[in-house]
Structure 1
């Protein structure tokens, strides 16, 4: 075709070049809008799927969904078209700085671990994107490091404070709404989908999915970001709330999720709205205590630990308090029950010796599988936003 290079082709007014991404259903190319002389991205549905009406409509629906979301943190769709081979394609905003997965991978290769500035930069951009998606009555359903992109900010101002992950002249944007669920048009029932490790439990099979599925994925994504770092327990608590298996126990929306994350990294930011807890007894959460002598639970000091805030909150503040009652000793193979004594806080999170979490459970039951010592941590937040923590130490003796 005239004007096209050896490895290029024309789709309408778009000169399509190198492949920058490929999946089971579509191929993504860097392209040039010849009319506007602008770099864009063209996402083309695979030819073998283009004749499937269901897949074809789902692909086109992605473009429509993106058009409904008005946010600088969600990839914009500029155009939609069809090739002479009846392959529909979307013309999208070009995120020229790659994916979050690529950025973090490159940083980790140089020994980097996340700082509070890194976490805040990602969390704020992510929350802004998800809030806009939800305002359009959509659930993204596939938030993962590969679907979070970075682009040069058009005005050069970026999202605010610079970090190693999102630089001063960059903006974080969310892409790939192909898995999205339209709440306005469906009952909420859906089928399995999403990226392994970032997929909430309700998306593992047919079930009901709402906006709280994205909150789970947001917490999983930020947890992934902090791997190898030493974030404070308050952040673990904040993220743990939306990692709850039951959507009802998660944050109500992206704004509440972000407020908790911001308070965890800066306790002076905002105020909490905790109320005294008055809950009936629940079935105990169960965990195996893999007790090792001297082992401490939660996220302890490590590489980059000095960059984080003080990780030693008290067990009482602002009229709220937490403590743990139960035996201080245990025997291998014999269950023990610990009880949360919480006053003045609406929610709390247990951090168990095997690294698991239990949210808002009144009791937990643990069984040791080896002798030694272990710690169980109970985190909550006072009404003024101050994190409060109780630590219960268990000494485990060998069985007879």
Structure 2
């Protein structure tokens, strides 16, 4: 029960979540992300429940644009903070301050409007959402088609899968393509890359840059200058990084993409310890949604998988593996993508560089070879493991899938009707 002393303007509306499920269905049908509505409502409740914090106890009267007579009487009676004014009833303000009912109502409304975030209706929230959803191209046409244009700049996009399925490859490719201009499918912005598992794969990044620069000459001169890397090793450090460091880094460095590689590693590091991981996990998800909504950034969270007992049917997909961190994390995710290593292989032609003064070396190491050394090119057939990308759930997409391979150039889409595949 929430008491508001008869003032509907400052009460906490506890019934808002009761209608969220109905509104979520309506928003899904129109292509909107209902999770943003949920987290805005959560943010309102969070602010409303912090009446005891320091900012609520300071003198706020001088900041109000109301009749000076009301301010004078309120100061004389000792009602100077937002906490003391909003917790008092209308009758108490009239008796203690000595003002008429209309002035008490005006004082309360002015204080509430100054300290509380503006209350929005669901209609206003929907109207404020951009009609055109922005995407970051993956650099692979087939993947972009399956994703409706690429990775969305909205909510949290989770990329999950087994080890070696191509999760980090996709993250690196997105980190480069996000820096391309919008005309090339990028955002023209920087990238914040948070590593929790191992060292950042700088060598592989340079190999991808080598091929990307040949394909996109209109990109930045130096891709690496716009990727800001942070290493964290545990759950608490990851949450603190998202809460305190990213809100300063994103606007100051024009960051358009945030990558966490991976979320599960930081939380699994606490296994065996008596630590409640639910609250930090929810805090992480809420802060990421808040960051995406406030600064229009894409958030890509890499996740691991865990073995399941028997065949599990979750979100319409049956298998013996399931994404880590359970439903507490799944309910915070906007789009879930799963990468899978299949048992199929395909033969593709691979370009090999040979140099007069060197032995043959594959183009995988071509980033360390000067283009002006008179290299000759030959082609050879190489077997690549076929991977699969599946859209597990997304508010505006169906359950799409796409086959791809990881080559020296990065992720490349394929069709399995090729005769050389088996």
Assess same fold via TM > 0.5: no
Bigger helix share? 2
TM-score, L = length of structure 1: 0.24
Which entry has the higher C-alpha Rg, 1 or 2? 2
TM-score, L = length of structure 2: 0.23
